[in-house]
């Protein structure tokens, strides 16, 4: 039986689980791949740092460069830009296939890596980079290869889904829900990358690239996080039959005959009957619309050591099988070239909350602004708060679909009205 | 550019959509596969029968045997055992790869077909055979190849899910919900194969084979349909926070150190918070539990011409790519051999409904029977119906997990008690 040398870069949460599986399940893996997978070493900064699992001390090395040079398969789980990028290129240059979970690097510079892997005839696999354990890359790339995807909407960040789900079920404010999530380990001490949507944006770029066979990077993604979502927003949404989710959306638009793809991340109102609305806690899900298949959804754990290690090992086994059986590797560079559309070109629907003084003519004045911008109103709800002397009211509008540019201009114009106390919330609506 | 000859057997609901895609999307398919996919003919019984789509008359032939002889890829969408089986073997014998959606044939005699395809070095692909458009075979076989699946639970029959969902939302009786489903085209005039669970049983055998790398056939599947599920069952389940779904379940059990796989189809109580509970109407979903990945779910349309055609075309494109790029084909015959366990060996939990005369000592007598069989009770709910003279009561028990044999014996013993008017329902519970 052939032996394949496997080098592991990084031994954190995911890496240590991958090492455990490679060592504990060696026999099973050999029978599934037809080759012995030999873990030749684990490159880390500090071999003596404490680890989750008990791994043989002699596997650890600080010389990552030398480790990858002798490998058939390099598993990169260090994260971040450097030295991950240089080491992956070094591995590719030495003829190794690479399995990675590095979404930030792929979203920033995937094009270069894919091109190099393709030129070298090695595989670059990255199932773990989007939605952790959920098999999404292979279904999109292979199973739907005879269909045409029109839209992808993903809950791809567990931290923000956990926070929004807690706000929805307990009525908590964002700050309190975040603090709870931090206490329970669902959010990091510095939660910026999660709550501001940057992590979701990286995954959105990768999903868009896969779905539309074109390289999109982080610069093509419009991004808005959840830190301004209030308990009032959630309550009002709930009242109207919606739930608020942070979605990464990649959508093909006709754009007046010049088709393009919009990639964006923003808090979104979804009908509570939508399949994505049933995704609770830190779970992830990716909802796909295709011309023939219709609606599909893939659901599972988006993070965590063992779940993400499962995705990594799926790529390792499939790469090893190919190395054993022969046949072409390669990274499958994108075949298409659909341009990325700026957000202003996107057609969407808004939910707008306004605080107004309850006096005659307010609704007429606001409605007039909508009409002037060619935006039509789907529903309006008014809630009146009387406080003894004057009374104020809250108005919540949901619009029909209109261009993002027209909607943004409408909101600006409403803000300029004297009779408006404040625009309390602007959220986009999908799934209706 | 290379040309691959594609022969289509059958031109019904799915076949006509596949033909449409092959003809209309020829350019796209060529750029995705690197080969021109030439539809060389469509074998049908009657070339002049009316079709859903407008297809060139000269493509039709009644000589299926001759058609497959010249093909690189044969798409079998005739359904049924014969002549589908003979034609597939004929195609394999002539070196063609086969794409099929024929779940009944695969469940009955998949082992022979896989073996022949493997020996001939051709591919046998069947994504469309389970859960229509939902990519499930590739994720289970490839993406989870570095993990170990422990359990699969699928809503794999749209007709029964439509009926149960309607009963749950409207309170209708089974017969009325079935009649509605027939009127709307969700159920056939003879609904036996669907409502008695036979269709789900075929898919269960295929799912089990995939998940546990062993050939299971229809004879290994215990099967119970939904025709005895009543509006009362659904109402009582709803009351207790459950929904009733027809599930195909494949589960690996320790079985006192001699591991085996249970494959079964039966109506099942699921907590309303379970991801499968949110699968409405005629949609399908497959829920997977794996050692490292944890819980995964795949959701989408389980039937229909275009959705199923999407799955067929995914297989066609991936087979064509492989034929263009080179490398091994083959059907990936199962590598393992876990025995199928008889239903009596399965550990499960029961929901039991009893109609009793409301008199002292009834509960004690029933509880005694449970205790004698070593079955412990998780919850009990009592509803009293007074009708003027005497009063009767309904008792609903949910048990802890126990062996199917012990549970069945308990139910038999309860039936023998004088104080019991009738056992109104026996349903299994999962997901708790």
- pLDDT for residue B328 is more than 90: no
Q: Which residues pair with B125 in a beta bridge?
A: B99
- pLDDT for residue B333 is more than 70: no
Interface touch B135/A296, C-beta < 8 Å:
yes
Per-residue tokens: B396: 């609903």
Domain locations along chain B = 2-130+305-325, 137-301, 346-429
Cα distances (Å, whole numbers) of residue A36 to A17, A26, A32? 19, 7, 10
Three-class SS of A316-332: HHHHHHHHHHCCCCCCC
Per-residue tokens: A206: 């990768």
Residues of A in contact with B52 (CB under 8 A): none
Annotated ligand binding at B10? The verdict is yes
- pLDDT for residue B352 is more than 60: yes
pLDDT attached to residue B334:
60
- A296–chain B Cβ distance below 8 A for any pair: yes
CB within 8 Å of chain B, chain A residues 261-290: 273, 275, 278, 280, 290
pLDDT attached to residue A337:
79
- B21–chain A Cβ distance below 8 A for any pair: yes
Q: What is the pLDDT of residues B174-185, one digit of tens each?
A: 999 999 999 998
Distance CA A207, CA A131 (A): 10
Residues of B in contact with A298 (CB under 8 A): 139, 296-299
- CATH class belonging to A2-130+305-325: alpha beta
CB within 8 Å of chain B, chain A residues 134-193: 134-135, 138-139, 142-148
- pLDDT for residue B327 is more than 80: no
Instruction: For an interface test with A, give the residue of B169, B243, B293, B311 to mutate (most A CBs within 10 A).
Output: B293
DSSP code per residue over A223-243: E--STT--HHHHHHHHHTTEE
Interface touch B21/A292, C-beta < 8 Å:
yes
Residues contacting residue A342 through CB under 8 Å, at least 6 positions apart: A222
Q: What is the pLDDT of residues A118-153, one digit of tens each?
A: 999 999 999 999 888 999 988 888 888 889 999 999
pLDDT attached to residue B129:
92
CATH no. for B346-429 = 3.30.70.260
Residues of B in contact with A326 (CB under 8 A): 327-328
Cα distances (Å, whole numbers) of residue A354 to A238, A372, A420, B144? 17, 18, 7, 49
Angle at B17 between CA B13 and CA B23, to 5 degrees: 150
Interface touch B293/A300, C-beta < 8 Å:
yes
pLDDT attached to residue B175:
97
Cα distances (Å, whole numbers) of residue B201 to A245, B104, B265, B266, B335? 37, 9, 6, 9, 22
Of A5, A423, A44, A144, the residue nearest B314 (C-alpha): A144
- A21–chain B Cβ distance below 8 A for any pair: yes
Q: Which residues of chain A have pLDDT under 50?
A: none
What three-state secondary structure class fits A198? helix
Burial class from Cβ neighbours inside 10 Å (0-12, 13-18, 19+) for residue A417 reads middle
Residues contacting residue A266 through CB under 8 Å, at least 6 positions apart: A197, A222, A223, A224, A246, A247, A249, A427, A428
Residues of A in contact with B317 (CB under 8 A): 145-146
pLDDT attached to residue B331:
56
Kindly report the average pLDDT of chain B as a whole number. 92
Q: What is the pLDDT of residues B199-247, one digit of tens each?
A: 999 999 999 999 998 889 899 999 999 999 999 999 999 999 999 999 9
pLDDT attached to residue A255:
83
The pLDDT of B150-156, averaged and rounded, is: 97
CATH no. for A137-301 = 3.30.360.10
Q: What is the pLDDT of residues A191-245, one digit of tens each?
A: 999 999 999 999 999 999 999 988 898 999 999 999 999 999 999 999 999 999 9
Interface touch B300/A304, C-beta < 8 Å:
no
Residues contacting residue A103 through CB under 8 Å, at least 6 positions apart: A126, A129, A130, A199, A202, A203, A206
Active site includes B203?
yes
Q: What is the pLDDT of residues A364-380, one digit of tens each?
A: 999 999 999 999 999 99
- Reported as a pLDDT band with limits 50, 70 and 90, residue B388 is low
Interface touch B314/A142, C-beta < 8 Å:
yes
Q: For residue A127, give the nearest of B143, B291, B299 by CB distance.
A: B143
- pLDDT for residue B132 is more than 80: yes
Q: Identify the closest residue of chain B to A31 by CA–CA distance.
A: B335
Task: Kindly provide the b/e burial profile for residues A91-130, where b requires at least 16 CB atoms within 10 angstroms of the residue's own CB.
Answer: bbebebbbbbbbbbbbbbebeebbebbbebebbbbbbbbb
Distance CA B416, CA B430 (A): 27
- The interface pTM score, or ipTM, of the predicted complex is 0.89
Among all chains, which residue has been given the structure tokens 């020996």?
Answer: B119
pLDDT attached to residue A145:
86
- B315–chain A Cβ distance below 8 A for any pair: yes
Distance CA B408, CA A212 (A): 53
CB within 8 Å of chain B, chain A residues 322-381: 322, 325-328, 335
Binding residues of A: 9-16, 103, 188
Say what percent of chain A tops pLDDT 90. Answer: 75
Instruction: For an interface test with A, give the residue of B16, B53, B77, B146 to mutate (most A CBs within 10 A).
Output: B146
Interface touch A317/B17, C-beta < 8 Å:
no
- Where is pLDDT greater, at B49 or B354? B354
């Amino acid at each position: 039986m052939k032996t394949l040398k496997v080098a592991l870069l990084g031994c954190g949460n995911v890496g240590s689980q991958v090492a455990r599986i490679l060592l504990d399940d060696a026999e099973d893996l050999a029978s599934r791949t037809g080759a012995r997978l030999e873990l030749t070493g684990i490159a880390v900064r500090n071999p003596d740092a404490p680890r989750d699992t008990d791994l043989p001390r002699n596997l650890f090395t600080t010389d990552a460069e030398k480790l990858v040079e002798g490998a058939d398969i390099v598993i990169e789980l260090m994260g971040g830009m450097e030295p991950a990028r240089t080491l992956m290129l070094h591995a590719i240059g030495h003829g190794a296939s690479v399995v990675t979970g590095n979404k930030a690097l792929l979203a920033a510079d995937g094009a270069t890596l894919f091109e190099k892997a393709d030129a070298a005839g090695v595989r670059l696999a990255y199932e773990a980079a989007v939605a952790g354990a959920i098999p999404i890359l292979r279904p999109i790339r292979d199973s739907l290869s005879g269909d045409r995807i029109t839209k992808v909407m993903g809950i791809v960040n567990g931290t923000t889904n956990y926070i929004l789900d807690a706000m929805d079920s307990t009525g908590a404010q964002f700050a309190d829900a975040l603090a709870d999530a931090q206490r329970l380990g669902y959010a990091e001490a510095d939660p910026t990358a999660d709550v501001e949507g940057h992590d979701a944006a990286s995954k959105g770029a990768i999903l868009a690239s896969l779905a539309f066979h074109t390289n999109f990077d982080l610069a093509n993604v419009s991004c808005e996080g959840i830190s301004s979502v209030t308990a009032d927003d959630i309550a009002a949404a709930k009242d109207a039959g919606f739930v608020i989710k942070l979605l990464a959306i990649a959508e093909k638009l006709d754009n007046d005959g010049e088709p393009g793809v919009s990639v964006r991340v923003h808090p979104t109102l979804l009908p509570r009957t939508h399949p994505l609305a049933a995704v609770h806690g830190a779970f992830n899900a990716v909802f796909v619309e295709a011309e023939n298949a219709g609606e599909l959804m893939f659901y599972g754990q988006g993070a965590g050591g063992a779940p993400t290690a499962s995705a990594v090992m799926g790529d390792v086994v499939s790469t090893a099988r190919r190395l054993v059986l022969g046949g072409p590797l390669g990274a499958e560079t994108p075949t298409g070239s659909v341009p990325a559309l700026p957000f202003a070109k996107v057609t969407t629907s808004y939910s707008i909350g306004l605080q107004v003084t309850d006096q005659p003519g307010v609704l007429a004045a606001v409605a007039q602004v909508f009409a002037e911008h060619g935006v039509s109103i789907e529903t309006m709800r008014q809630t009146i708060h009387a406080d003894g002397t004057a009374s104020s009211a809250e108005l919540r509008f949901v619009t029909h679909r209109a261009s993002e540019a027209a909607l943004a201009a409408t909101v600006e114009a409403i803000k300029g009205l004297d009779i408006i106390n404040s625009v309390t919330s602007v959220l986009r609506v999908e799934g209706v």
